[in-house]
């Protein structure tokens, strides 16, 4: 598929997991990708893309700080000549501290990284995209945004805010040709969930991961990337303000049982 030929994309959280898989998928579909992350593996993703003949650069920066987001949009435009796709994908889990003992410091940091990063992406990508009257902004939410017991409380709440932001921003961009959607992954092995997977492996219960989903398995980063590529492309040209669950069915059914984590 070369649905993104000639397009320019920013993917944040691009050093690993869903962001890495999406950056690679976007590039395979023809996009030039500015891979943004906080760690050195950001450069590895860009190098992997270039190795298979794609166009990519790496930018190591915190994508939840305003001037950094403004700068990455400017960098994408100056280096690649434009910006049509922004995948706001950075995220952090909260702690499982008992609710009554949680702190404002934890909540502020979780909201800064999960929610405010999306606002900043919308603000700066939106300025560029509304001016050119074309663009697709994709926000990473989570199945945890819809239900309890699928993640830390601060995480779930911050992702619920992301869902609303996808809708309110899409509505604010009415008539501009800029679409905003969210993708809601279920359980996927990434940097955020690595401990869950490692603990399960250590206890010999890896086969139980994802057992509460109808599909009876966790998802893979490339499966989320395929959904992000759909939302990035014109194949989703009439899909706007939507919450796309990519979770093996867990959000569409009653759970069969609790996940033993």
Partner 1 sequence: MSLRLKDRVCVVTGAARGIGLAIAERFGEEGGRIACVDVSARRLEPAVAELKSKGFEARAYEVDVAKRDDVHALFARIESEFAAPVAVLVNNAVWARFDPLAQIEVETVDRMFAVGVHGLIWTTQAAAPQMERRGGGSIVNLSSVSAFNPAKDSIAYSALKAGVVGLSRASAIELSTKKIRVNVIAPGMIGTPASIAQFDEATIATRQAEMPAGRFGEPEEIAALAAFLASDDASYIQGAVITADGGWTIPAR
Residues involved in catalysis: 155
Stretch that binds partner 1, among 113-121, 127-135, 201-209, 241-249 (CB under 8 A): 241-249
Q: Which of 1, 39, 47, 207 binds partner 1 (CB under 8 A)?
A: 1
77 lies in the binding site for partner 1 (CB under 8 A): no
Q: Are 236 and 136 in contact (CB under 8 A)?
A: yes
Q: Which of 189, 197, 220, 259 binds partner 1 (CB under 8 A)?
A: 220
Query: Looking at beta carbons only, is 41 or 163 nearer to partner 1?
Result: 163
Quote the CA–CA distance of 222 and 25 in Å, as a whole number. 8
244 lies in the binding site for partner 1 (CB under 8 A): yes
Query: Looking at beta carbons only, is 18 or 73 nearer to partner 1?
Result: 18
Q: Are 209 and 197 in contact (CB under 8 A)?
A: yes
Q: The tokens of 224 are what?
A: 């989320």
8: CB partners within 8 A, 6+ apart:
31, 32, 33, 34, 76, 77, 80, 81, 82, 83, 84, 85
Quote the CA–CA distance of 121 and 37 in Å, as a whole number. 14
Quote the CA–CA distance of 136 and 119 in Å, as a whole number. 14
Quote the CA–CA distance of 42 and 19 in Å, as a whole number. 10
Q: Which of 71, 226, 259, 261 binds partner 1 (CB under 8 A)?
A: 226
186 lies in the binding site for partner 1 (CB under 8 A): yes
Stretch that binds partner 1, among 51-59, 80-88, 173-181, 200-208 (CB under 8 A): 173-181
Query: Looking at beta carbons only, is 103 or 171 nearer to partner 1?
Result: 171
Stretch that binds partner 1, among 56-64, 100-108, 147-155, 248-256 (CB under 8 A): 248-256
213 lies in the binding site for partner 1 (CB under 8 A): yes
**What is the total count of residues that contact partner 1 (CB under 8 A)?**
41
In 3D space, the residue among 23, 233, 66, 31 whose CA is nearest the CA of residue 134 turns out to be 233
Q: Which of 175, 204, 257, 258 binds partner 1 (CB under 8 A)?
A: 175
SS3 145: helix
Quote the CA–CA distance of 68 and 60 in Å, as a whole number. 10
* Site residues (vs partner 1, CB under 8 A): 1-2, 167-168, 170-171, 173-175, 179, 186, 213-216, 219-220, 223-224, 226-227, 229-230, 234-242, 244-249, 251-253
């Amino acid at each position: 598929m070369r649905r993104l030929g000639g397009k320019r994309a920013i993917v944040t959280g691009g050093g690993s997991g869903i962001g890495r898989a999406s950056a690679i998928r976007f590039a395979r579909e023809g996009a030039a990708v500015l891979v943004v992350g906080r760690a050195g593996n950001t450069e590895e993703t860009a190098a992997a893309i270039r190795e298979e003949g794609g166009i990519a650069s790496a930018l190591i920066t915190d994508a939840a700080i305003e001037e950094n987001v403004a700068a990455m949009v400017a960098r994408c435009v100056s280096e690649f000549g434009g910006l049509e796709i922004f995948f706001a994908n950075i995220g952090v889990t909260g702690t499982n501290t008992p609710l009554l003992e949680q702190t404002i410091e934890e909540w502020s940091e979780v909201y800064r990284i999960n929610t405010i990063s999306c606002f900043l992406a919308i603000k700066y990508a939106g300025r560029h995209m509304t001016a050119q009257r074309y663009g697709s902004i994709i926000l990473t939410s989570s199945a945890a945004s819809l239900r309890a017991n699928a993640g830390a409380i601060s995480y779930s709440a911050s992702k619920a805010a992301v869902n609303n932001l996808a809708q309110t921003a899409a509505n604010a961009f009415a008539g501009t040709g800029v679409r905003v959607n969210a993708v809601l992954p279920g359980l996927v092995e990434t940097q955020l969930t690595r401990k869950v997977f490692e603990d399960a492996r250590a206890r010999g219960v890896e086969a139980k991961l994802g057992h509460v989903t109808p599909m009876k398995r966790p998802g893979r980063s490339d499966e989320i990337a395929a959904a992000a590529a759909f939302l990035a492309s014109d194949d989703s040209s009439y899909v706007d303000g939507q919450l796309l669950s990519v979770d093996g069915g867990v959000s569409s059914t009653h759970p069969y049982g609790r996940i033993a984590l």
